[in-house]
Amino acid sequence: MKAATRKTAKTLKTKTAPGWKIGSAYLIRTVTMIQTGRLVAVTEHELILEDAAWIADTGRFSDALRGGGFLEVEPFPDGEVIVGRGAVIDACAVPFSLPREKK
């Protein structure tokens, strides 16, 4: 495929996507894990997050959704993290500061 026609995450980024709000903090449950992060872009097949972390243990899930008091947090390095939209089970915007410290 020619470089000029190759699609990249940068060229597919959108500013609007039904159901998603760019700039919001989310808790995203996928088929294998839970991530938190700030949504910076949505592509056809991916969500792009910053300030992301893998949440190994949420504790009581409903409590975690309200206040973010997670029992185990593993932050991703600074930069963008890509989550495949096909693996998403559910997601919700969260009102708390995103966890960035290992617990």
- What's 15-83 look like in SS3? CCECCECCCCEEEEEECCCEEEEEEEEECCCEEEEEEEEEEEECCCHHHHHHHCCCCEEEECCCCCEEE
The domain ranges of the chain are 9-93
Query: String of b and e for 82-93 (b: at least 16 CB within 10 Å)?
Result: ebebeeeeebee
pTM, two decimals, is 0.82
- 16-26-91 Cα angle (round to 5): 85
Section 58-84 average pLDDT: 94
CA atoms within 13 A on the CB side of 33: 12
pLDDT-based confidence at residue 103 (cuts at 50, 70, 90)? confident
| Per-residue pLDDT tens digits for 29-42 | 999 999 999 999 99
Q: Let me know if domain 9-93 sits in CATH 2.40.50.140.
A: no
